[in-house]
Structure 1
């Protein structure tokens, strides 16, 4: 069940002070990305938080890496973050950046599931199947 914090969508102001040259630099970058300064700063803070935590989690909920509980808000946040960090990207580049290294995660997960006999590879069935419990 979601906590009250997770469902509160009201906005609150956050005030910080930076040198004028820094604000000007952020504003130029935000303008290049067609974002407001507030949106730019929020996106950069979220990107930085992911970098420090080593995970993709956000205040919006679970990891924005394609999990079953991912929401369109998670994807929206990830797209904004990636574009703010990287600038213009093609569809394929953006897709790769938003999905991250899903192949390694899938490989690791399948190994764990196979070790626990929850999933098996069956050549006869033509792929992975649920294991016997």
Structure 2
């Protein structure tokens, strides 16, 4: 598989109401949530491309000018810390299992969406006979 078509995962954390809005809009457009977010990000980027003549995609070096960063950007895996702070901000006490559920609430849905996408791209297949998923080489 060439690097041009190789896929990777991108994660972000958004408020639950925003996710619900995105899901509803994706359904209206008959798109998966992943496809919707990918399309919206690409559409949003088109307005910025004229302001940035050199891009990493074209093989040019990144500019030395500082790019605007999200105020909650947390390089090095601090995203979980921010998410825990966010969940606990309401002042309620959370038992371990409840806190874990709050932090992983969408993992099953994300896994299902990802597996469906990989299967539709013929990258993964499910075998009931073998009892699981396997990469489709």
TM-score interval, smaller chain: 0.3 to 0.5
Larger helix share, 1 or 2:
1
What TM-score, normalized by structure 2, do the two folds share? 0.46
What TM-score, normalized by structure 1, do the two folds share? 0.47
